[in-house]
Amino acid sequence: MGSVEEYQPLLLGLDSHSRIPDLSSVAIEDFLEQRPVAARWWPRLVAWESRLLWLLSGSSIIVSIFNYMLSFVTLMFTGHLGALELAGASIASVGIQGLAYGIMLGMASAVQTVCGQAYGARKLSAMGIICQRAIVLHVGAAFLLTFLYWFSGPALKAIGQSESIAEQGEIFARGLIPQLYAFAISCPAQRFLQAQNIVNPLAYMSVGVFLVHILLTYVVVYVLNYGLIGAALMLSFSWWLLVVLNGLYIVLSPSCKETWTGLSMQAFRGIWPYFKLTVASAIMLCLEIWYSQGLVLISGLLPNPTISLDSISICMNYWNFDMNFMLGLSAAASVRVSNELGAGHPKVTKFSVIVVNGTSILISIVFSAIILIFRVGLSKLFTSDAEVISAVSDLTPLLAISVFLNGIQPILSGVAIGSGWQALVAYVNLTTYYIIGLPIGCVLGFKTSLGVAGVWWGMIIGVGLQTLTLIILTARTNWSTEVEKAVARLKRSATEEATRVIVDNI
């Protein structure tokens, strides 16, 4: 290991931003091994790490946010149709669409994992087969979920929603049935492209479809007066437009010529092992996605459900916007941690964890301040009902707390995933969210005068406990030991057949 003086000529390049990309993780790891590191080097090291993080997360954040914004904008338009229409659309969006999207997104996370390993193993032609196999399973799941969409009215009544809200929710949900099948194709296709580090084209497509969606939804809802069903059908149309663009890129782009070799009957072989993997992935992700959605459903059971649903749904839309932003950083954290552990760089790994958490906390402070400053204006984007606006304003302090916690929790989850702690995090989520947070929210919401605020406090307690657990887990981590574990896993994988590396050794 060289001395500090030996590495100073290299690190002096940090004085020039153009030299930052030239620095390798090996050089940074060696430098961080020197103790103590002078204070003047830390801003330059942070700049080096931040650049890598934003290169990884920038386009992923855009894709995540603008895909989410399709539903966000649709609910904004329906909110101006009336409080009852907003409540119906919100309950359908959360209870029906959210349930389906959680399943589809969870299943699709297996595509990213398996295709990512296939891409790393240079089994490029296998990636197209994996994507097709995933689409087959997703379409099967969509067919089963269609019955829930069609009979969503009775389903919503069965869980205690009022008849008027359930009727509006059924209208909206039936208009989203085409979107369900778009999910079945788009989710695997996007993960297929992301596994190849093709993210910029996805970002351009998402932004373009979002702009078209705003224009067409306005025309259909306000000019042609198709109301709630028109808003739902336009949301379905926009998702199918996204599917067509993704498909054209996969089929026509030279970037996919080695990974997509056309349709193949091989997609129907080996379905069962892959099915088991997708189920496990769906369960992991759904534990987090359904938690906040479940609290919205509970709010529909409170006295004056229309106001309760409208207020918490508006707040949840902003919370989900922030969540989608942070998920991009979370993905970057996961990649950085896994890459550096695999490369045998414990110091850089720990430094990366610190930088990404610091970055996300600063962003969350800004977002929280915006919510508190513009608490009335943000609610007026969704509704003109004075009672709803007042209820949203009362909830914004809780929303600000949730947004701040959101600057830590998803990032730590990304670190945990990059370190291979998925099973442990799943148990943590189950305990803190469903065994502790959800019951507390129900007690505070129904047995005290807090109402919808009590339900939200239950969510905050659950997320806070999960965050605290992950902080303790991360702080106590011996990154040198994690490097040894990563090396051992790589050695085991290297001795197995390529097919087992791709499918069985996940």
Backbone dihedral region of 391: left (phi > 0), alpha (psi from -120 to 50 degrees) or beta? alpha
Amino acid at 476: R
pLDDT for the residue 60: 78
Instruction: Count other Cβ atoms within 10 Å, centred on residue 38.
Output: 9
pLDDT for the residue 491: 52
pLDDT for the residue 117: 56
How is 36-86 classified by DSSP, letter by letter?
A: SPPGGGHHHHHHHHHHHHHHHHHHHHHHHHHHHHHHHHHHHHHHTT-HHHH
pLDDT for the residue 4: 40
Residue located via tokens 């051992």: 488
Would you say 49 and 352 are in contact if contact means Cβ atoms under 8 Å apart? yes
DSSP assignment, residue 257? T
261 Cβ partners below 8 Å, 6+ apart?
125, 128
271 Cβ partners below 8 Å, 6+ apart?
133, 136, 137
Would you say 309 and 300 are in contact if contact means Cβ atoms under 8 Å apart? yes
Q: What is the C-alpha to C-alpha distance for residues 372 and 283, in angstroms, rounded to an integer?
A: 34
Of 181, 56, 63, 196, nearest to 127 by C-alpha is 196
Give the per-residue SS3 of 120-148: HCCCHHHHHHHHHHHHHHHHHHHHHHHHH
Q: What is the C-alpha to C-alpha distance for residues 382 and 396, in angstroms, rounded to an integer?
A: 14
Residue located via tokens 């930088």: 355
pLDDT for the residue 414: 62
For the chain, state the CA radius of gyration. 24
DSSP H helices in 151-226? 152-158, 163-175, 177-194, 200-218
pLDDT for the residue 481: 72
Instruction: Count other Cβ atoms within 10 Å, centred on residue 151.
Output: 14
Q: Is the model's pTM score more than 0.85?
A: no
* Sign of the alpha-carbon torsion through 231, 396, 319, 304: negative
DSSP assignment, residue 16? S
Q: What is the C-alpha to C-alpha distance for residues 371 and 363, in angstroms, rounded to an integer?
A: 13
Domain locations along the chain: 54-269, 302-497
Q: What is the C-alpha to C-alpha distance for residues 480 and 279, in angstroms, rounded to an integer?
A: 33
What is the pLDDT tens value at each position of the chain, 506 positions in all? 444 444 444 444 444 443 555 567 777 777 777 767 777 777 888 888 888 778 777 887 888 888 888 988 888 888 778 778 877 887 788 777 777 877 787 777 767 666 765 665 566 777 788 888 888 888 988 999 899 889 888 888 877 777 888 888 888 989 999 999 998 899 888 888 877 777 789 889 999 999 999 999 999 988 888 888 999 999 999 999 999 999 999 988 888 888 887 776 776 676 666 676 666 666 666 776 667 666 666 766 666 666 776 777 777 777 777 877 887 777 667 667 766 766 677 777 778 888 888 888 888 899 889 888 887 777 777 777 778 788 788 888 888 888 888 777 777 766 665 555 656 777 787 888 888 888 888 888 888 877 778 888 888 898 888 888 888 887 777 767 766 665 554 454 444 334 444 444 44
503 Cβ partners below 8 Å, 6+ apart?
114, 270, 273, 274, 277
Of 28, 257, 229, 4, nearest to 124 by C-alpha is 257
